[in-house]
Amino acid sequence: MKPPMHPESTLVHIEKPIYGGAFLARVGGKAVFVPLTLPAEQVRVRMLADKRGYRLAEVERILAPSQERVTPMCRHFGACGGCDYQHANYEAQLGFKQAILRETLERGGVRVPSEIGMLAANPCGYRNRIRLAIDAAGNLGYRGRRSHQVVPIAECPIAAPLLIRAALAIWDIAAKSLLQLGHAEISFFCDANETELLVGIQGERQANFALNGLSTAMAVKVPELIGTEYTVADSAGRPERTVARWGRSSLAYRAAEFEYRVDQGAFFQVNRWLVDALVGAVAERQQGALAWDLFAGVGLFARRLASSFQQVVAVESAPRATAALAHNLNGAGARAVKMSTLDFLRRGQRGERPDLIVADPPRTGLGAETTALLATVQAPRLVYVSCDPATLARDLRGLIASGYRIEKITLADLFPQTFHLESIVHLQR
């Protein structure tokens, strides 16, 4: 005998994926967002929340599964908040992201080329960086789906195996030594070949333990470990500060024909299988006298551009990245500028007009003032690397209004199994 349905149980037809990882259904004309489903599926759902313009729901039962549905590769999928699409085959995932990117741009008033290019690689074991949390009970894992609770993990098929081996090792050492890390987050970052590993622990001010002892014990279990760092966040909102360090503070990352120094905590592209292809897609057939690399990070694009431009100016303000940026560009015919992109553009650069501008902003995008200032520079070519389609649409609308046109758009699937997507947009005046 079937158990009775929840009073709020509703039968819905899943229409399409939406940005954020859920899928769209409609009940009485109102949008319903349902995770862990697939287009064309008939699903019985339980309503969780009724917002002004939409409802949130959870699956109770899949009545008519899609042919694109597969068995998730990870035992933690569904409870863990890290992945969204493991229940779909990879070809379907790529189709979701192309559709979402096109719809988001067109809804934002941007005319999209008939074809969107695609960069994709192995959807497993690709992450060179993960960040785990420790709760009050000492559990180590990812945050839960729709929850801040920690989901303890024993595996993570999308991460480089070294990272999970290191995570389980530090968890085991802490448990056996009764080490009290308190509420903390731990980041693990390795090079593409898994030969070097950095570990960063961000904890509470009152946490007190010997980082050297922990690191030494961990290096026995994980010989690839070359450096650890312990930081605390300031309650007044000031930047975190380092209170202890063991070993080296940076690793050497070989990518796109160059070796990059990447310091502890600095941003670097997360997909170790696609870094080279991403750099190639940004820098392909680009050459000239002067190029600007804005939001340059540790110089991933700037170093490549320096081989085909007479001069490259790389602009970065993040404290964790600026020293490595200067190191990586030393002797390459490129100049590192320690400044925010907005301040750099406000200063006008004495009327310089680069042949190419590469902009790789954070998820918040360029913003209105940066977009307007870029328009006044009038560089003949601009490559926009975006990790958020909504802010991309907003910024492209401004750039197009200022005289740019889209030459091509490429979707780079740097985050398989998740809803996140990267876009590379080539623009010309």
Say if residue 2's pLDDT is above 50: no
Residue 237 near residue 264, CB atoms below 8 Å: no
The single residue of 80, 83, 190, 387 carrying the catalytic annotation is 387
Please give the average per-residue pLDDT across 16-35, as a whole number. Answer: 97
Give dist(CA 292, CA 272) in Å, integer. 25
Q: In the structure encoding, which two tokens stand for residue 317, read together?
A: 């303000």
Quick one: pLDDT at residue 133? 92
Dihedral angle at the C-alpha atoms of 101, 102, 106, 107, nearest 10 degrees?
A: -50
Residue 421 burial by Cβ neighbours in a 10 Å radius (0-12, 13-18, 19+): buried
The tokens 């480089």 sit on which residue? Answer: 160
Say if residue 1's pLDDT is above 60: no
The tens digit of pLDDT for each residue in 273-296 reads: 999 999 999 998 999 999 999 999
**SS3 state at 328:** helix
| Partner residues linked to 143 by β-bridges | 150
Quick one: pLDDT at residue 208? 58
Say if residue 79's pLDDT is above 90: yes
Mean pLDDT of the chain: 94
Quick one: pLDDT at residue 5? 42
Where do the domains of the chain lie, and which CATH numbers do they carry? Answer: 1-69 (2.40.50.140), 95-122+271-428 (3.40.50.150), 129-252 (2.40.50.1070)
Residue 44 pLDDT grade (very low, low, confident, very high; cuts 50, 70, 90): very high
Q: Identify how many contiguous H helices and E strands the chain contains and give both numbers.
A: 9, 23
Give the global pTM: 0.94
**SS3 state at 175:** helix
Quick one: pLDDT at residue 236? 64
Quick one: pLDDT at residue 100? 98
CA-angle at 337, arms to 333 and 338, nearest 5°:
145
The tokens 């600095």 sit on which residue? Answer: 266
Quick one: pLDDT at residue 4? 45
Instruction: Provide the residue count of the chain.
Output: 429
Give dist(CA 126, CA 362) in Å, integer. 21
The tens digit of pLDDT for each residue in 386-427 reads: 999 999 999 999 999 999 999 999 999 999 999 999 999 999
The tens digit of pLDDT for each residue in 135-188 reads: 888 889 999 998 889 999 999 999 999 999 999 999 888 877 656 666 789 999
Concerning whether 387 is annotated as a catalytic residue, the answer is yes
Give dist(CA 188, CA 167) in Å, integer. 8
Quick one: pLDDT at residue 85? 98
Q: Could you count the other beta carbons within 10 Å of the beta carbon of residue 95?
A: 15
Residue 6 pLDDT grade (very low, low, confident, very high; cuts 50, 70, 90): very low
Exposure string of 269-279, with b = 16+ CB inside 10 Å and e = fewer, is bbbbbbbbbbb
N-term to C-term CA, the chain: 67
